[in-house]
Structure 1
Amino acid sequence: MFLGIDVGTYESKGVLVDQDGTVIAHARRRHGIATPNPGHVEQDPETVWWADVTGIARELTSHPRGREIAGVGLSAIGPCVVATDADLRPLRPAILYGVDTRATAQIDRITARIGADEVFRRAGNALTSQSAGPKIAWLKDEEPDVWRAARWFMTSQSWLVAKLTGDVTIDHATAGYFHPLYDVASGEWDTTGCEDWADAARLPRIAWSTDVAGTVTAAAAAETGIPAGTPVIVGTTDSPAEAVASGVVGEGELMAMYGSSGYFIRVGDRLRVDARLWSAPFVFEGTYVLAAGTSTAGTATRWIADLLGVTVDQDEQTFAHLIELAAESEPGARGLLALPHFSGERTPFQDPASRGVLMGLGLEHTKADVARAMLEGVGHSISAAILAFRAAGAPIERVMAIGGATRNPFIIGTVSAVTGLEQVVADSPGAAFGDAFLAALGTGAVREPGDVRQWVHVRETVGPDAATRAVLTADHDDYLTLYNAIAPLQHGRRR
């Protein structure tokens, strides 16, 4: 048996999986975030992360087969910054990933000092709120007592693995987001130009996700119920684990995650860098990713459901009602076009100031037209992100789609129509399932990364629809034109 646990932004999930990929038991815990100041997003490692992990582990190890665990894999949100003392006690709440935007001044200062070209050469990315490095610099500037007292600056799953094993490690995939402290070409820490706030000796040992970090200590066994001596792999962040869980492990394969926002990972066997996308190592040695993301997907569909009055207590029924309403319209929503940029937009625009637009409204339009326009707009947003890979010279050979919005035919159908790509929809149990597979691989129970495809269950395949492709492709051109035309006005209103 293999135990996988994933700690997400609002929920933690765990699965107990056998060697054939069958989920024997699962558990979950919900939690929240803290926003103590504008732009600050935090969680307490002990009362949120560790409490969830111990609760889920105790529940799953109480299963009749829970004592047969041969390996543990963990993933968590990231890249986060967790400052701890030598005994792994957090010195303050963890600073979360890109949703925490506190380090803007540090990003500007570090970029000016090192140079934007050198940052991109070293990290394969520009510095953004998703970069962990500037948040360590923020601690030096704003909380110097914490910075001086810290023995370790690590990330979420690093701390959890250390709590289980006593070993402080980080995987290459997550270290790749500690820009500008990780050299993506050499795979090593490089603090050149950052010596006044960063020291490689205070950063975790870098390893591959499937490497065994250590074994469960007696103290951790007492808290979690996991037998002492059980191997624990280094693990990774939630998105790479999701990719593995969907069976995306080979050259040219793309994970398309249709969640509250959209996230996309393309796996390759060589490093590619492009300013429109994010570059990092993947979870296996010799593999890399290009990644993209949108800011809204499921959140926009929930918003329009609330606005149009089709919301009911059960989310599944709400979205079913919304789909039924949109079906009363026609492809192209009778001339309506939506930009679903309710929280700005990421790939390909990287524009946090962009906001939602509904263009073309006339007295003849109905609620059904508005519903369909918004769903197709989400599809255009996702299509634009996926097409950025093609523009970067990174062809897509296979798409595995996961997430709740894959059940919305107008969203996923628009994506296939615009991109021309066939999408294989997987019934994935989520990142924790990927963690369990990585643990099985790391302990030798399975032999090759590609073996995960035998674990993955396919629900359906969605291909381009010839009847709608011409309309939706023309609408996508208009979607791009609309954004470019209205962006200057939007930026002026935001100021």
Structure 2
Amino acid sequence: MTQLFLGIDIGTYETKGVLVDSAGAVFATARSRHGISTSLPGHVEQDAMDVWWSDFTRVSRELVGQLAPDDEILAVSCSAIGPCVLPVDAQLNPLRPAILYGVDTRADAQIADFERRIGRDEIVRRSGNTLTSQSAGPKIAWIIENEPEVAEATRWYMTSQSFLVARLTGEVVIDHATAGYYHPFYDLARGSWDLTGFTDLLRVEQLPALRWSSEVAGRVRAEGAFETGIPAGTPVLTGTTDAVAEAIGASVLDDGDLMLMYGSSGYMIRVVSEPIADPVLWSAPFAFPNRYVLAAGTSTAGTATRWIADVLGLDEGKGDAALFAELMRLVHDAPVGAGGVVHIPHFSGERTPFHDAGARGVFAGISLTTSRADMARAVVEGVAHSVVAAVRSYAEIGMEPKRVMSIGGGTKNDVLMQTVSDLLGFEQNLAATIGAAYGDAILAALALDTTSQADIRDNWVSIDATVAPRAGDDPAVATLSRAHDEFLATYRALRGRFAEEETTE
């Protein structure tokens, strides 16, 4: 008999599941692709039933189908994109598609209204953060103001994993790590909901009960067992967002650890021992008591490289791996610095450090000698510049990382990895992990006390490679440093320009 932990993660474009044994070995994996909806500029949504629950049940059934009769699932943990806003009725039926995390930028007017209501200083004092597109509170207000019939029927405003846990167990809960992004409705210092100044919008009862990610929320009910194949009575954890699960899956657990996640967008989590309020970085609880995070994010990473591959007409017929290889051949054909071309990959605005929903993508420095290879390399280096700009926010408040674990599909891009390490001046350890679903399984194992955080760090998660920075006097580093200065200067020169143009159209 094999005792196993089931972890399932719902990402932006793909759902992944994994069964892991009590020693951390992967027993089985499964995945399912899906998409997002962008019906209006700044609106990014997913359907909770057709995407989240459908994928969850499909992946769980595939994994459970690989079990022997005497194998046992000890616990289930799930993560998903977030923070999201999903209004549901009393029977847990979604009332509209879910509004996604920081890539959805519709709530600027509500952010301004919240700042008028209680003031920016009170928002930062209460939440540890300023309000940005990553904040869920203004998106709840957007629903209340723009879809009053939905708001009237709403029993709870949930995030993604809350919905999945509720479908499995009937329990309506949210982890502190995600609730910390429901600013300004969550008091970071007290670890509780606080609707002071907003009681005309909603009631505390419309928000899920608060739990730690590693707490058992409930057990699989008969209905959940029928749809997922998971045995009734199996413990289900509260779970967390995909980014926190990714960090756990990369053994980012201790104060000073930093996760650099290179996915369709970029995301960073630095673990700290106390809440730290900052106007640029996002402060929130971590998955465990007495641990917090300082987080940052970029709006575009892998989506930019996919975009340039499409624009350059690279062949998709042989699959993603061949397409990426063809793109990287072009990238390596160009010199460091992309022949003087600088790219700003703000296709969907930008998050850290600018928090500028109106920002847009830019190429600067193009000449008649600019080649396709220069353009390809400029995009890759542009993604690196955006990551570096975000990560340097930690140093600006004295929170430089002590240990860096890098994960995600972007770690396969050697130019991206080397450029980031060169500009930041520190090593990146490329973690051998299969992602957030593995972090979910780790969370389940920790919840049942079958392992320890030290064991996770030392034995469960290994390092594939380490990317060290080149020497500071290397000509390539000097070229990249000049390009980074140009990246920042170009953004600052154009800040607000695109928003003004959209307003006048």
User: Does TM, normalized by the shorter one, top 0.5?
Assistant: yes
Corresponding residue to 1:10 among 10, 13, 21? 13
Distance in 2 (alpha carbons) for counterparts of 1:168 and 1:329: 53
Aligned twin of 1:385: 390
The normalised TM-score by structure 2 is 0.93
2:199 matched residue in structure 1: 195
| 1:266 to 2:270 alignment | yes
Deviation at 1:36, TM superposition (A): 4.9
> Aligned partners of 1:406, 1:46: CA distance in 2, in Å?
32
TM-score, length-scaled by structure 1? 0.94
2:305 paired residue among 278, 294, 301 = 301
Residue 76 (structure 2) aligns with:
72
Equivalent residue number for residue 401 of structure 2: 396
Flag the 1:254–1:279 CA change in 2: closer, same or farther, 3 A: same
- Aligned match for 2:364, one of 359, 362, 368: 359
The 10-residue stretch of structure 1 (215-224 or 188-197) with the greater mean CA deviation from structure 2 = 215-224
**Residue equivalent to 1:90:** 94
CA distance in 1, matches of 2:396, 2:185: 28
Instruction: Tell me how many residue pairs correspond in the alignment.
Output: 495
**C-alpha offsets along residues 110-144 of structure 1, whole Å, 9 cap, x if unaligned?**
22111111111111122233222223223333333
Shift of residue 449, structure 1, vs aligned partner: 6.4
Q: Is the CA contact (8 Å cut-off) linking 1:136 and 1:198 kept in structure 2?
A: no
- What does residue 430 of structure 1 align with? 435
What is the alpha-carbon distance in structure 2 between the residues aligned to residue 419 and residue 251 of structure 1?
A: 20
Distance 1:125 1:167 in 2: 29
Deviation at 1:279, TM superposition (A): 1.1
User: Secondary structure of 1:69's partner?
Assistant: strand
1:494 Cα deviation from its structure 2 partner? 4.4
Question: 2:486 aligns to what?
Answer: 478
Pair 1:85–1:23, CA change in 2 (3 A): same
Shift, 1:34, TM fit: 3.5
Superimposed CA distance per residue, residues 322-362 of structure 1 (whole angstroms, 9 cap, x where no aligned partner): 22222222222333322222333222222233333333333
> Aligned equivalents of 1:82 and 1:239: distance in 2?
19
Change in 2 beyond 3 A, CA 1:338/1:49: closer
The CA deviation at 1:417 is: 0.5
Relative distance call for 1:291 and 1:225 in structure 2 (3 A) is: same
2:127 paired residue number: 123
- Between 1:5-14 and 1:230-239, the stretch displaced more is 5-14
Q: 1:34 to 1:328 in 2, by over 3 A?
A: closer
Q: 1:452 to 1:74 in 2, by over 3 A?
A: farther
C-alpha change, 1:408 and 1:215, in structure 2 (3 Å) is same
Q: Which residue of 2 aligns with 1:46?
A: 49
Query: What's the counterpart of residue 240 of structure 1?
Result: 244
1:182-219 per-residue CA deviation (whole Å, 9 max, x = no partner) reads 00110001110111112112221111100111111122
Aligned match of 2:165:
161
1:283 aligned residue? 287
1:211 counterpart residue number: 215
1:322 alignment partner AA: L
1:440 aligns with 2:445: yes
- Which letter does structure 2 place at the counterpart of 1:458? I
- Measured after TM superposition, the shift of residue 369 of structure 1 is 2.5
Out of 133-142 and 377-386, give the one that drifted further: 133-142
User: Do the aligned partners of 1:375 and 1:411 also contact (CA within 8 Å) in 2?
Assistant: yes
Q: Which amino acid aligns with 2:491?
A: Y
Residue 299 of structure 1 aligns with an amino acid whose one-letter code is T
**Do the aligned partners of 1:231 and 1:443 also contact (CA within 8 Å) in 2?**
no
CA-CA distance at 1:106 after TM superposition:
2.5
Question: For 1:347, which of 349, 352, 363 is the aligned residue?
Answer: 352
Alignment gaps of 5+ in structure 2: none
- Conserved? CA contact 1:342–1:355, under 8 Å: yes
TM-superposed CA distance for 1:230, in Å, is 1.0
Of 225, 229, 234, the match for 1:225: 229
Q: Give the distance between the partners of 2:264 and 2:45, measured in 1 at CA.
A: 19
- CA deviations over 1:272-317 (Å, ceiling 9, x no partner): 1211111111111111111111122212222222333333332222
Deviations along 1:40-59, one digit per CA (max 9) or x if unpaired, are 43333223222211121111
Are 1:328 and 2:336 an aligned pair?
A: no
Instruction: Quote the Cα distance in structure 1 between the aligned partners of 2:457 and 2:477.
Output: 33
**Contact 2:133/2:357 (CA < 8 Å) preserved in 1?**
no
**Given the superposition, is the C-alpha separation of residues 224 and 264 from structure 1 closer, same or farther in structure 2, using an over 3 Å criterion?**
same
**How big is each residue's C-alpha offset from its partner over 1:414-441, in whole Å with a ceiling of 9 and x where there is no partner?**
1111100100011321111111110111
Using the TM superposition, give the Cα deviation of residue 180 of structure 1 relative to its aligned residue in structure 2, in angstroms.
1.1
* SS of the residue 1:70 aligns to: strand
Specify every segment of 5 or more residues in structure 1 that has no aligned partner in the other structure, as ranges. Answer: none
- Cα distance change, pair 402–87 in 1 and its aligned pair in 2 (3 A): same
The one of 15, 23, 26 aligned to 1:23: 26
**Superposed displacement of residue 459, structure 1:** 1.5
Taking a change above 3 Å as real, the CA distance of residues 40 and 336 of structure 1, as seen in their structure-2 partners, is: closer
2:37 counterpart residue number: 34
| CA distance, structure 1, for counterparts of residue 347 and residue 140 of structure 2 | 30
* Superposition deviation, residue 76 in structure 1: 1.1
AA in 2 matched with 1:12: T
Note the 1:132-143 alignment, pairs <5 A: 132-143=136-147
Distance change in 2, residues 1:482/1:147 (3 Å): closer
Whether the 8 Å contact between 1:243 and 1:265 is mirrored in structure 2 is: yes
State whether residues 441 and 449 of structure 1, in contact with CA within 8 Å, keep that contact through their aligned partners in structure 2. no
**Displacement of 1:38 after TM fit?**
4.7
User: Do the aligned partners of 1:212 and 1:443 also contact (CA within 8 Å) in 2?
Assistant: no
- The answer (yes or no) to whether the contact 1:209–1:283 under 8 Å persists in 2 is yes
Which 10-residue stretch deviates more, 148-157 or 91-100?
91-100
Percentage identity across aligned positions? 55
SS of 1:179 mapped into structure 2? coil
Q: Is the 8 A contact 1:253 1:398 kept in 2?
A: yes
Give the C-alpha shift of residue 107 in structure 1. Answer: 2.3
Instruction: Give the Cα–Cα distance (whole angstroms) in 1 for the partners of residues 39 and 350 of structure 2.
Output: 25
DSSP-derived class of the 1:12 partner: strand
Equivalent position to 1:108, from 108, 112, 135 = 112
Tell me if structure 2 keeps the 8 A contact 1:244–1:452: no
The secondary structure found in structure 1 opposite 2:270 is strand
Q: Which secondary structure state, in structure 2, belongs to the residue aligned with residue 88 of structure 1?
A: coil
Tell me the residue number matched to 1:409: 414
Does the 8 A contact of 2:358 with 2:496 survive in 1? Answer: no
2:333 match: secondary structure:
coil
